[in-house]
Amino acid sequence: MEMFNSKSPILNVHGETTDTVVYFLNDFIHDSVKLGNTYIGIIHGRSSNILRNRIHELLKKNKQVDSFRLDIWNPGMTIVKLKNDKKH
């Protein structure tokens, strides 16, 4: 069973704006799906939750995302499970 681990790709958007994070996140998800990754991490920080909330909003709408959750050990990171359609 594949899981998020130390070799999983991570995108660090901590310190970015809610507007710029849209582009970084969509490109990262698209590239990760193309590369066949199942799990990715998004570091957003945890100060005011504005960035986290925007990222979660975007993840809910993204058709390439299967599910996501906050990392239980690091609430400043969200772990994302991607849909991997093997029928390319």
Give the mean pLDDT per block of 10 residues along the chain (88 residues). Answer: 87 93 96 95 90 96 97 94 73
Q: In what order do the strands lie in the sheet with 65-70?
A: 10-12, 39-43, 77-82, 65-70
Question: What is the set of domains in the chain, with CATH numbers?
Answer: 10-82 (3.30.1370.110)
pTM over 0.75: yes
Q: How many angstroms separate the CA atoms of 12 and 28, rounded?
A: 10
8 A C-beta contact, residue 52 and residue 13? no
